């Protein structure tokens, strides 16, 4: 029989193994990460949690996370998100290259849940298909097409919802926005055929919502998980909608190929589709990074004319049909390749295209509706100015809320842009580096790296929103801190660091605040008690942060506004988004006195996946009155 004394060596060995394990977790792994970080020559944190990396900090408070990272590393750094090394970018010079250099950066959708629900994104990734896709969809979503095809039905859907809000007198804003955006997406913008019976329609809405909820869960397919339910709902939707989508797609295909006579909008012709230069007077849409397109002198030509619809000839690009809705645009963009629809897309892939359009519209609009109404409700001075503007519009145009009337509301326009700056609806986008890319700052993004361009980072360090580069404060140098930072910061970065320093000396922009010291000095002078500067502090200093007036003056207008992205993947729905938010606010202001029951709703809200209140805190009271 073994006595406890015989066991001692075994216990001792186990203790040694345990101690070695603890030691390596505490010291060795971070040390290896530090070495890798230095090898990578890109600034960034050296400690992060295994598997999840810095994802929790980012999701919990994107502004706080990005602000702190910017203070330490500037507008370009390396981190780990969902267990993957990611290069985060957010300053003008680098953003431009990531957005526009499609030779170097390929569109990427991270996260397994998305690819489980939408398996085919060739039309976003392959240059030829993407070209057709942008062109056709751009036409369907151009200002002229919106004015002619979408605005009337959109106003009708909104009126129906506002009637119901009026009857109830109180709604939960987030839920009400969700219902409204689903109806706008399904009944107006996407143009998907829907079943005719009301019960089936309601079921389709519920199924779409279940699919969308699956996007944000873990990719674990077990009964009860969000993705499990989403995949089930997707199958059901496919059974319900596929015959309708197929019939619609076949009909469009026949029309395109047959060259039938068709009514089209002149204004929706080629060239007005690309959001970059298609705007209407008063509706200025940023092309990313403050590159606001000038208001076009060309108002949409809404004269309708009859013309022959050409077949897909030549390079297949000249289809000639001005698509009326997104699905139609998708189908014709596939046909533009000169191939048969069925040869390129399986029923499932075509169905996924339909699903993708609902995601693009609904997932963004619901957050924008919630955020813009909440922001106005929480800022009485802003609301008073908006009401004045609406009174003037009523005096000038009567009840009309056409595209051009909405275009003549500069303050409302500024309110929506400021909402999208302070409460971004999109967190940004992802790319894969197709080759080593040397940045002007000297840093190199290695081939195969995942690049994340972040809306929040861009908005954090917009030079227009920061005071001028302050001189370092004498006597406040923390020697140990500087030494430690110098280990990690650009100074230690070998050739890349040297290039960066040289770039700074030559006056090239490495960000407005080129050194961590300058950024920290800045932080000491502008951070409030929450550790954020006023221009980001939507939770505690809302009225100081939310200042639509900054959009009305060229000097104060944000220059790094990235709400809709930029370059080759600039949001194709930006005109739709601006118009729907303006329409909703204009209609609300004209009909109701409204206020949020809980003035702390944003304090308790989160910004992921878009502005989302804590459950039950977003009661909105509505009292009807004429303006």
* Annotated binding residues: 571
CA–CA distance, 483 with 489 (Å, rounded to integer): 10
> Which one, 153 or 600, has the nearer CB to ligand HEM?
153
- Which window, 230-238, 277-285, 358-366, 401-409, contacts ligand HEM (CB under 6 A)? 358-366
Given a contact cutoff of 8 angstroms between Cβ atoms, the answer to whether 501 and 494 are in contact is no
Is residue 182 at the binding interface for ligand HEM, with CB under 6 A as the rule?
no
- Token pair, residue 67, equals 């602000």
> Which one, 140 or 500, has the nearer CB to ligand HEM?
140
Measured CA to CA in angstroms, residue 209 lies from 232, 361, 430 at distances of 12, 13, 24
Is residue 361 at the binding interface for ligand HEM, with CB under 6 A as the rule?
yes
Minimum CB–partner distance for residue 184 and ligand HEM (Å) = 9
Number of residues that bind ligand HEM (CB under 6 A): 22
Minimum CB–partner distance for residue 581 and ligand HEM (Å) = 7
Is residue 515 at the binding interface for ligand HEM, with CB under 6 A as the rule?
no
Instruction: State the first-to-last Cα distance of the chain, in angstroms, to the nearest integer.
Output: 94
Minimum CB–partner distance for residue 71 and ligand HEM (Å) = 25
Is residue 454 at the binding interface for ligand HEM, with CB under 6 A as the rule?
no
| Nearest residue to 444 (alpha-carbon basis) of 89, 42, 90 | 42
Minimum CB–partner distance for residue 288 and ligand HEM (Å) = 9
> Which one, 355 or 522, has the nearer CB to ligand HEM?
355
- Which window, 64-72, 247-255, 496-504, 558-566, contacts ligand HEM (CB under 6 A)? 558-566
Query: Within 110-129, which residues bind ligand HEM (CB under 6 A)?
Result: 124
Strand ranges for 152-296 from DSSP E: 170-172, 261-265
Q: Name beta bridge partners: 80.
A: 85
- Token pair, residue 242, equals 């596929």
- Token pair, residue 581, equals 């938010």
- The answer, yes or no, to whether the previous bond of 507 is cis (omega within 30 of 0) is no
Is residue 429 at the binding interface for ligand HEM, with CB under 6 A as the rule?
yes
CA–CA distance, 367 with 180 (Å, rounded to integer): 11
Window 588-627: contact mask with ligand HEM (x via CB under 6 A): ----------------------------------------
Measured CA to CA in angstroms, residue 329 lies from 189, 208, 485 at distances of 11, 21, 52
- Token pair, residue 332, equals 């014709």
- Which window, 165-173, 278-286, 559-567, 590-598, contacts ligand HEM (CB under 6 A)? 559-567
- Token pair, residue 319, equals 């289809």
Q: What is the bridge-based pairing of β-strands 450-454 and 84-89?
A: parallel
- Alpha carbons within 13 A on the beta-carbon side of 195: 16
CA–CA distance, 313 with 466 (Å, rounded to integer): 53
| 40, 45, 273, 573: residue in contact with ligand HEM (rule CB under 6 A) | 573
Is residue 97 at the binding interface for ligand HEM, with CB under 6 A as the rule?
no
Minimum CB–partner distance for residue 274 and ligand HEM (Å) = 10
- Which window, 315-323, 457-465, 479-487, 565-573, contacts ligand HEM (CB under 6 A)? 565-573
| Alpha-carbon radius of gyration of the chain | 26
- Classify residue 267 by its DSSP letter: G
Is residue 565 at the binding interface for ligand HEM, with CB under 6 A as the rule?
yes
Residue 596 host element (H or E): strand 592-596
3-state secondary structure 92-118: HHHHHHHHHCCCCEEEECCCHHHHHHC
| 177, 265, 333, 365: residue in contact with ligand HEM (rule CB under 6 A) | 365
> Which one, 274 or 593, has the nearer CB to ligand HEM?
274
> Which one, 43 or 611, has the nearer CB to ligand HEM?
611
CA–CA distance, 395 with 398 (Å, rounded to integer): 6
- Which window, 25-33, 308-316, 425-433, 589-597, contacts ligand HEM (CB under 6 A)? 425-433
Is residue 425 at the binding interface for ligand HEM, with CB under 6 A as the rule?
yes
Minimum CB–partner distance for residue 194 and ligand HEM (Å) = 17
Measured CA to CA in angstroms, residue 596 lies from 368, 373, 540, 613 at distances of 16, 9, 16, 12
Strand ranges for 440-540 from DSSP E: 444-445, 450-454
Minimum CB–partner distance for residue 345 and ligand HEM (Å) = 17
Quick count: other Cβ atoms within 10 Å of Cβ 86? 22
> Which one, 61 or 419, has the nearer CB to ligand HEM?
419
> Which one, 274 or 597, has the nearer CB to ligand HEM?
274
Minimum CB–partner distance for residue 38 and ligand HEM (Å) = 30
Query: Within 236-295, which residues bind ligand HEM (CB under 6 A)?
Result: none
- Token pair, residue 272, equals 């007005």
Is residue 134 at the binding interface for ligand HEM, with CB under 6 A as the rule?
yes
| Nearest residue to 490 (alpha-carbon basis) of 63, 14, 4, 37 | 37
Is residue 364 at the binding interface for ligand HEM, with CB under 6 A as the rule?
yes
Is residue 564 at the binding interface for ligand HEM, with CB under 6 A as the rule?
yes
| 569, 582, 590, 591: residue in contact with ligand HEM (rule CB under 6 A) | 569
- Classify residue 624 by its DSSP letter: E
Binding residues for heme are 571
Is residue 444 at the binding interface for ligand HEM, with CB under 6 A as the rule?
no
Is residue 137 at the binding interface for ligand HEM, with CB under 6 A as the rule?
yes
| 215, 354, 576, 620: residue in contact with ligand HEM (rule CB under 6 A) | 576
CA–CA distance, 453 with 76 (Å, rounded to integer): 9
Query: Within 183-202, which residues bind ligand HEM (CB under 6 A)?
Result: 189
| 577, 588, 589, 622: residue in contact with ligand HEM (rule CB under 6 A) | 577
| 279, 426, 539, 617: residue in contact with ligand HEM (rule CB under 6 A) | 426
CA–CA distance, 100 with 242 (Å, rounded to integer): 36
List residues near ligand HEM by CB under 6 A. Answer: 124, 134, 137, 141, 189, 360-361, 364-365, 368, 425-426, 429, 563-565, 569, 571-573, 576-577
């Amino acid at each position: 029989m073994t006595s406890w004394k015989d066991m001692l060596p075994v216990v001792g060995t186990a203790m040694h193994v345990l101690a070695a394990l603890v030691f390596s977790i505490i010291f060795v792994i971070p040390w290896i990460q530090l070495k890798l970080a230095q090898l990578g020559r890109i600034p960034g944190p050296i400690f992060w949690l295994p598997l999840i990396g810095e994802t929790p900090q980012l999701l919990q408070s994107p502004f706080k996370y990005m602000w702190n990272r910017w203070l330490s590393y500037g507008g370009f750094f390396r981190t780990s998100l969902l267990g993957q090394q990611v290069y985060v970018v957010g300053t003008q010079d680098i953003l431009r290259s990531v957005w526009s250099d499609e030779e170097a950066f390929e569109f990427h959708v991270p996260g397994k849940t998305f690819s489980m629900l939408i398996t085919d994104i060739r039309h976003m990734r392959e240059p030829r298909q993407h070209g057709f896709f942008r062109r056709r969809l751009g036409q369907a979503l151009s200002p002229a097409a919106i004015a002619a095809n979408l605005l009337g039905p959109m106003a009708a859907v909104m009126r129906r919802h506002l009637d119901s809000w009026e009857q109830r007198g109180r709604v939960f804003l987030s839920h009400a926005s969700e219902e409204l955006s689903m109806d706008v997406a399904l009944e107006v913008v996407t143009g998907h055929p829907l079943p005719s019976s009301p019960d089936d329609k309601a079921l389709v809405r519920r199924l779409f919502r279940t699919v969308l909820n699956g996007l944000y869960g873990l990719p674990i397919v077990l009964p009860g998980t969000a993705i499990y339910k989403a995949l089930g709902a997707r199958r059901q939707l496919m059974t319900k909608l596929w015959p309708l989508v197929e019939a619609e797609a076949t009909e469009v295909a026949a029309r395109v190929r047959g060259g039938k006579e068709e009514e089209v909008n002149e204004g929706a012709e080629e060239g007005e589709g690309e959001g970059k230069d298609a705007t209407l007077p008063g509706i200025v849409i940023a092309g990313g990074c403050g590159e606001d397109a000038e208001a076009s002198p060309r108002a949409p030509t809404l004269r309708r004319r009859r013309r022959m619809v050409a077949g897909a000839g030549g390079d297949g690009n000249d289809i000639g049909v001005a698509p009326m809705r997104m699905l139609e645009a998708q189908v014709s963009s596939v046909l533009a390749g000169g191939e048969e629809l069925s040869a390129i897309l399986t029923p499932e892939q075509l169905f996924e295209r339909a699903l993708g359009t609902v995601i693009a519209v609904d997932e963004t609009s619901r957050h924008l509706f919630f955020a813009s109404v909440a922001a106005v409700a929480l800022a009485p001075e802003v609301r008073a100015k908006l009401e004045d503007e609406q009174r003037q519009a009523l005096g000038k145009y009567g009840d009309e809320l056409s595209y051009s009337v909405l275009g003549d509301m500069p303050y409302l326009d500024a309110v929506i842009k400021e909402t999208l700056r302070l409460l971004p609806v999109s967190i940004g986008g992802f790319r894969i580096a197709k080759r080593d890319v040397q940045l002007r700052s000297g840093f190199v993004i290695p081939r195969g790296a995942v690049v994340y361009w972040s809306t929040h980072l861009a908005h954090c360090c917009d030079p227009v929103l920061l005071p001028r580069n302050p001189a370092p404060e004498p006597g406040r140098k923390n020697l140990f801190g500087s030494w430690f930072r110098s280990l990690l910061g650009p100074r230690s970065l070998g050739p890349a660091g040297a290039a960066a320093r040289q770039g700074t000396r030559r006056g090239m922009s490495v960000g407005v605040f080129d050194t961590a010291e300058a950024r920290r000095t800045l932080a000491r002078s502008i951070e409030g008690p929450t550790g954020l500067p006023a221009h980001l502090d939507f939770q505690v200093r809302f009225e100081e942060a939310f200042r639509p007036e900054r959009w009305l003056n060229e000097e104060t207008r944000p220059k790094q506004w990235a709400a809709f992205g930029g370059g080759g993947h600039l949001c194709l729905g930006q005109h739709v988004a601006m118009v729907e938010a303006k329409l909703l606010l204009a209609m609300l202001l004209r009909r109701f006195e409204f206020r949020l029951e809980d003035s702390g709703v944003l304090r308790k809200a989160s910004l992921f996946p878009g502005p989302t209140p804590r459950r039950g805190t977003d009661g909105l009271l509505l009292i009807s009155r004429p303006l």
